[in-house]
A and B are shown apart, each in its own frame.
Chain A
Amino acid sequence: MSDTVSATATTRDPAVPGRPPFRLGPAISGVWRPRFLVVALIGAVLALLALAADVGRGDYPISIVDVLRVLAGGGTDAQRFIVIDLRLPRALTGVLVGAALGLSGAITASIARNALATPDILGITQGASAAAVAVILLGGSGGVIGTVGTQLGLPLAALAGGVATATLIYLLAYRRGIDGYRLVLVGIGVNAVLASVVSYLLVKARVEDAARAQVWMTGSLNGRGWEHVRPVAVALAILVPISLILVFVLGALQYSDDTVRGLGIRLNAARTGLLLCAVALAAVATACAGPIGFVAFVAPQAAIRVTGGSRPPLLASATFGAALVVASDVVARTMLGDLELPVGIVTSAVGAPFLLYLLAVNTRKVRL
């Protein structure tokens, strides 16, 4: 880091007039942008309300006010049991998974300088699913993948699949540097191969296993308990702080590679670290709830439109993702009466038209 340049910029001649600068150690410096925090908070409030609504729904309806009261520590014993032991873990899984996907999408889109380069469009979540489906379907019946996978468990298998796919896509898209669109198109190609691998596994499986895998593959929060909350919570607890520290180089990454190097930033190290964070977040979320479509794309895009600015804000993307997933879960559970749809169907129904709209309005605007 070149301290002199940024120090003079921030102390004597503020780079952004009217915005108080701050500095933490050698790597972290910036200006306060209250709007970013406010928007992130609004997202968090929305996520909380959606969570309360999601928890309230069910055979034994509880009003949002009562749910909030239970969450605050009050409520009757019966309400406490239903909320805390039965319904909260599911909704909380949704919050965490949504936050992880939103954050992951914001990071990958910023790195690729392309709004479309999100883990699900690139096929990283598809890679995680392929590995997870292989474990689900081959777990009992043996085979190398099945045996190794059962030993590792679903989350680690998905993580391995996600990282392997991301590496493959990066290498295939590399041609004297990474071009955002080439990355996306290579991702689509890799996606197709992985999808057909999954189809093949489905054909080979017994129909019961296939049905189980199919539910999981659509992205579902059904039957998620505290044991599902924990891994995502741990992953977020580790990866969010790392991402938030590394994000201070993201501001520079939107310039051309040469400019970034000129600013004294170790481009490849920063990029690799951030990419690993993003892939890990997406893979853990996928392992937990299946590939919930388009959240990683929609949440950052919505956040960037609300906050303004030139790249997706990380915190707001995370809270928006959480709100989107849980709100979609509410819709998925209420839309068809008694029948519960997987949440991924609702998020895809929201996200895909949004993507088509963006493409139709102006192809250039989709660039970051």
Chain B
Amino acid sequence: MTVTHDRPNASASARPSASGSSARPRRRRPLIVLGLTGVVLLCIVLSIAIGAKPIPIGDVWAGLVSPENSENDVIIRSLRVPRTVLGLLVGAALGIAGALMQGHTRNPLADPGLLGVEAGAAFAVVLAIYSFGVTDTLGFVWFAFAGALVASLVVFALGSLGQGAATPVTLALAGAAVSALLGSFTSALILMDRQTLDVFRFWQVGALTGRPTRVIWEVLPFLIVGLLLALYNAPALNLLSLGEDVARSLGQSVFTTRAIGIASITLLTGAAVAAAGPIGFVGLVVPHVARIFTGPDYRWLLPCSALLGGSLVLLTDTIGRVVVRPGEMQVGIIMALVGAPFFIWLVRRRRLAAL
């Protein structure tokens, strides 16, 4: 994976100029999508093959195509494949949500985790566990949406309030404050009820294990709607990145664009958090890497972010199975260990360029 290797390029193309992308990435884009699809496939194979019990590549293929109920086939079909699919979906959702947030807030540090949207969804889920005794994902989803929506509205409101535009710093801080506040409410609920704590602490770290297969089917419709809204949002977001006034003068309704963006972010983040718990930094890292390949055009950036997000989560999850054998390290933890240095590197760059 090319998470942090292409640094010179990253800083250059992460700063989209008004003149748009250069011709080079434009011509190569279809090839890039093809390449990224290859990366995803590789990550899928690794995710199925590596684990507590390593499975040879040949058996992986056999288990997928012609299962014979051998031990490996059972592991593959009942454990590894659902987990892989879930990771793919969650990663894609968070990657797109991150790209949308960076676009709408014009903030290179935007990420559903850092800006408090995941914390909003997480608090709502705990509220669901505690007050309403909800235990299934389909119940979580609606609460997660409500929490994610409220949190993203707060963040966006802070972005538009005050004098002048919100700086990257303001938003990151607002996100930290919202996360801290919701975090303390969350722990208040947990403290009142040990059973909630026991459910919550496993869910809180962000993991792909222990989620029943039907979770995938339950969140899938929401993810699809969120994805379609995001793709529909892309051309408008391209206009918006020229500035609100320019977009308005070109006949674009800024309000509608923002509303669709928030709806999409809410659906994608809410569904991802309901399915796998809060996984931070995917939405931060992925769009920056994707921009290296695609340039600033959101019609290409969003699909590439989905592919990269899926690969990143799968890869991280696979690493998590290997590093602390015989135990596992949850994907959310590894993601923080990978993502935070990336975040700090972004912060340390000379100019904290706004998007």
A residues with a Cβ closer than 8 A to B are: 116, 121, 172-173, 175, 181-182, 184-186, 188-193, 195-197, 199-200, 202-204, 207, 210-211, 214-215, 217-218, 293-294, 339, 341-342, 344-345, 348-349, 352-353, 355-356, 359-364
Given A121-B176, A188-B343, A199-B332, 4 more pairs with CB closer than 8 A: A196-B337, A214-B191, A294-B180, A363-B167
A200 and B348 contacting across the interface, CB-CB below 8 Å? no
B322 interfacial by beta-carbon distance below 8 Å: no
- Report yes or no: A185 in contact with B347, Cβ–Cβ below 8 A: yes
Q: A172-B348, A355-B177, A361-B162 are in contact. Are A185 and B184 (CB under 8 A)?
A: no
**Complex contact A185–B197 (CB within 8 A):** no
Give chain B residues whose Cβ lies under 8 Å from the Cβ of A193.
Answer: 336-337, 340
How far, in angstroms, from A211 to B280 measured CA to CA in the complex? 24
Contact of B185 (CB < 8 Å), options: A116, A121, A188, A345: A345
Is B164 touching A349 in the complex (CB atoms < 8 A)? no
Contact A211 B332 (CB under 8 A): no
Please give, as numbers and ranges, the residues of chain A lying within 8 Å of B180 by CB-CB distance: 293-294, 348, 352
How many Å lie between the Cα of A210 and that of B191 in the bound state? 10
User: Which of these, A200, A293, A356, contacts B205 with CB under 8 Å?
Assistant: A200
| Contact present for B188 and A181 (CB under 8 Å) | no
Which of the residues B157, B329, B347 comes within 8 Å of A182, measured between beta carbons? B347
Rounded to whole Å, the gap between the CB of A199 and the closest CB of chain B is 4
Sample of 9 A–B contacts (CB below 8 Å): A185-B109, A188-B172, A188-B173, A192-B336, A207-B198, A218-B188, A342-B188, A355-B174, A363-B169
- B: number of interface residues (CB 8 Å): 53
Q: How far is the CB of A216 from chain B (nearest CB, A)?
A: 11
Chain A residues near B161 (CB-CB < 8 A): 360
- What is the predominant secondary structure among interface residues of chain B facing chain A? helix
Complex CA–CA separation, A77 to B257 (angstroms) = 71
Q: Is the CB of A349 within 8 A of B184?
A: yes
B339: interface (CB < 8 Å) = yes
Q: B residues within 8 A CB of A218? A: 184, 187-188, 191
Which residues of B line the A interface, CB within 8 A?
109, 113-114, 154, 157-158, 161-164, 166-167, 169-170, 172-174, 176-178, 180-181, 183-185, 187-188, 190-192, 194, 197-198, 201-202, 204-205, 280-281, 327, 329-330, 332-333, 336-337, 339-341, 343-344, 347-348
A184 near B173 with CB under 8 A, answer yes
B280 touches A192 (CB 8 A): yes
**A189, B184: Cβ atoms closer than 8 Å:** no
A359-B191 contact in complex given A192-B281, A200-B205, C-beta closer than 8 Å: no
CB pair A186–B347 under 8 Å, yes or no, is: yes
Tell me the nearest residue of chain B to A116, going by C-beta. Answer: B173
| A261 to B89 alpha-carbon distance, docked (Å) | 56
A-side contacts of B170, CB under 8 Å? 359, 363
- Is A345 a contact partner of B197 (Cβ separation < 8 A)? no
Chain A interface mostly helix, strand, loop or mixed? helix
Docked complex Cα distance between A191 and B202 (Å): 20
Asked whether, in the complex, the Cβ of B162 is within 8 Å of the Cβ of A360, the reply is yes
A344-B184 contact given A192-B343, A360-B161, A360-B162, CB 8 Å threshold = yes
The 4 A-B pairs at the shortest CB distance, nearest first, are namely: A352-B181, A196-B336, A348-B184, A185-B347
How far, in whole Å, are A26 and B32 apart by their CA atoms in the complex?
A: 68
Nearest Cβ on chain A to B37's Cβ, whole angstroms: 30
Q: Which residues of B contact A186 (CB under 8 A)?
A: 344, 347-348
Contact of B339 among A181, A192, A197, A355 (CB under 8 A): A192
Say yes or no: B167 contacts A352, CB within 8 Å. Answer: no
Q: How far is the CA of A344 from the CA of B192 in the complex (A)?
A: 15
A360 neighbours in B (Cβ, 8 Å): 157-158, 161-162
Q: Which interface residue of B173, B330, B348 has the most chain A CB atoms within 10 A?
A: B173
Residue of A nearest to B190 (CB): A214
A123 CB to nearest B CB, Å: 10
Interface centre among A184, A190, A192, A361 (most CB of B within 10 A): A192
How far is B190's CA from A215's CA once the two chains are assembled, in angstroms? Answer: 9
Q: How far apart are the CA atoms of A317 and B202 in the complex, in Å?
A: 39
A185/B280 contact (C-beta < 8 A), A210-B201, A359-B162 known: no
Inter-subunit contact A196/B178 (CB<8 Å): no
Q: Specify which chain B residues have a CB less than 8 angstroms from the CB of A363 in the assembled complex.
A: 162-164, 166-167, 169-170
Distance A192 CA – B284 CA, assembled complex (angstroms): 13
Chain A positions within 8 Å of B205 at CB level: 196, 199-200, 202-203
- For B173, the chain A residues whose CB sits under 8 A away are 116, 121, 184, 188, 355, 359
Report B-chain residues with C-beta under 8 Å of the C-beta of A200.
205, 329-330, 333
B198: A residues at CB distance < 8 A: 207, 210
Chain B residue nearest to A120 (CB atoms) is B180
- B201→A189 contact, CB < 8 A: no
CB–CB B344/A172 < 8 A: yes
List of A residues within 8 angstroms of B163 by Cβ:
362-364
Do A203 and B330 form a contact, CB below 8 Å, given A188-B114, A359-B174, A360-B162?
A: yes
Q: In the complex, are the beta carbons of A196 and B333 less than 8 A apart? A: yes
* B194–A211 CB distance below 8 A: yes
Please determine whether B201 and A203 come into contact, CB atoms closer than 8 angstroms: yes
Inter-chain contact A353/B181, CB cutoff 8 Å: yes
Contact A184 B158 (CB under 8 A): no
Q: How far is the CA of A359 from the CA of B330 in the complex (A)?
A: 34
CA distance A353 to B344 in the complex (A): 26
Q: In the complex, A196→B173 CA distance in Å?
A: 19
Residue of A nearest to B154 (CB): A356
Q: Give Cα A1–Cα B308 distance, bound, in whole angstroms.
A: 57
- Within the assembled complex, what's the spacing in Å between the Cα atoms of A339 and B192? 8
Whether A356 and B348, one on each chain, are in contact in the complex, defined by CB atoms closer than 8 angstroms, is: no
Instruction: Decide: A185 and B188 in contact? CB cutoff 8 A.
Output: no
CA distance A193 to B348 in the complex (A): 17
CA distance A355 to B179 in the complex (A): 12
